Structure 1
Amino acid sequence: MMTLYQDWQANTVVVCATTLAVSLAVLVHYEGLALISNWLAKRRELHSRRKVLYSIFSVLALHVTEIWIFGITLWLTLGYPETGLIKGADPLHLLDAVYFSAVTFNTLGFGDLVPVGPIRFIAGTMSLTGFVLITWSASFTYLEMERYWRK
């Protein structure tokens, strides 16, 4: 069984990949929410309730994009064998990594795929990032509904 601190080079790769994925996901989320909000504000011809629907579908699309960011990062990082493995998917295909990312990002974690080794750091950080981004989306959705729902 691999321990987390066995290979410092592998740990460095995992931490750098995690930092990059988190930064990219947060940037995508921030810019995405800004674009959605600006786009909705400019669309005076749209019915208010339709604006709420557009915001919901847009937020879902942002989350799917962020899940793919983490899935691709995980898949690429596991190309370096010392970073660990995902038990339950041997070999790990890209869609397996995206699936693992989806269940981890939304903190569901079925347990059918289990990270082993330094790669656990990405999984834990992905879960925290997903939780933060999902709650950010909930706040954004609430504000958009307050703005458009009653009109």
Structure 2
Amino acid sequence: MFIQLVIATLMVLVTVIIHLVGLAVLVRILRSHSRLFQSPRILPISLLIGAAMGIVAIHTVEIWVYALLYDGIGAFRTFEEALYFSTVTYSTIGYGDVVMRREWRILGSIEGANGILMLGWSTAFLVSLLSQLRLLGHDWLSRGKD
């Protein structure tokens, strides 16, 4: 059990670093993009689409890192099973149709907790972006009160 906790702690650290670096790169890309597209109509939509796609890419990398770990330690028969398990665990869907070998299941549960934190961090990033683009306080919320 101790080795699982050590590996899980290292994986949480790795995913936090991936997420931090990924969001920093994404911010730089979005800033350079906003200089290229000055149109007030195109800019917010393109920034949101770009941010969403960037966040999906960051989460994909994190899921694949877990899957590669599972494949490396032999927790599943095939890499496809490892990737599937990692995806449903990270996203906390947890179908239960593919289960990890008993001696590694604590590691899998910590991936679920880690996924919740990383998805929450991404949500906060998107809300912050919406706020900076002033897309949260539009008059469409008060229409019909006239």
The answer to whether the superposition gives a TM-score over 0.5 is yes
* Match of residue 36 from structure 2: 45
* Match of residue 140 from structure 1: 125
Aligned length: 130
Measured against aligned partners, the alpha-carbon deviations of 1:4-35 in whole angstroms (never above 9, x if no partner) come to xxxxxxx3443333222221111000111111
Amino acid at match of 2:36: E
- Does 1:59 find its partner at 2:55? yes
* Match of residue 5 from structure 1: none
Higher relative contact order structure (alpha carbons within 8 Å, sequence separation ≥ 6): 1
- Does 1:110 find its partner at 2:92? no
Q: Which structure is larger by alpha-carbon Rg, 1 or 2?
A: 2
What is the rounded CA distance, in whole Å, between the counterparts of 1:73 and 1:20 in structure 2? 11
Query: Which structure has more helix as a fraction of its residues?
Result: 2
* Match of residue 139 from structure 2: none
What is the rounded CA distance, in whole Å, between the counterparts of 2:44 and 2:24 in structure 1? 18
What is the rounded CA distance, in whole Å, between the counterparts of 1:60 and 1:149 in structure 2? 23
How does the TM-score come out when normalised to structure 2?
0.81
CA distance 1:134–1:127, shift in 2 (3 Å): same
Equivalent residues of 1:28, 1:66 under 8 A apart? yes
What is the rounded CA distance, in whole Å, between the counterparts of 1:42 and 1:74 in structure 2? 37
- Unaligned ranges ≥5, structure 1: 1-10, 79-84, 87-91
What is the rounded CA distance, in whole Å, between the counterparts of 1:17 and 1:76 in structure 2? 12
Amino acid at match of 1:129: N
Secondary structure of 1:115's aligned partner:
coil
What is the rounded CA distance, in whole Å, between the counterparts of 2:134 and 2:71 in structure 1? 41
What is the rounded CA distance, in whole Å, between the counterparts of 1:100 and 1:120 in structure 2? 11
Secondary structure of 1:75's aligned partner:
helix
Equivalent residues of 1:22, 1:129 under 8 A apart? yes
Equivalent residues of 1:68, 1:101 under 8 A apart? yes
Q: Which runs of 4+ in 1 moved over 4 A?
A: none
Sequence identity (%): 24
What is the rounded CA distance, in whole Å, between the counterparts of 2:28 and 2:113 in structure 1? 28
- Kindly report the root-mean-square deviation, in angstroms, between the aligned alpha carbons of the 2 structures: 1.8
- Unaligned ranges ≥5, structure 2: 38-42, 136-146
* Match of residue 18 from structure 1: 8
Secondary structure of 1:113's aligned partner:
coil
* Match of residue 6 from structure 1: none
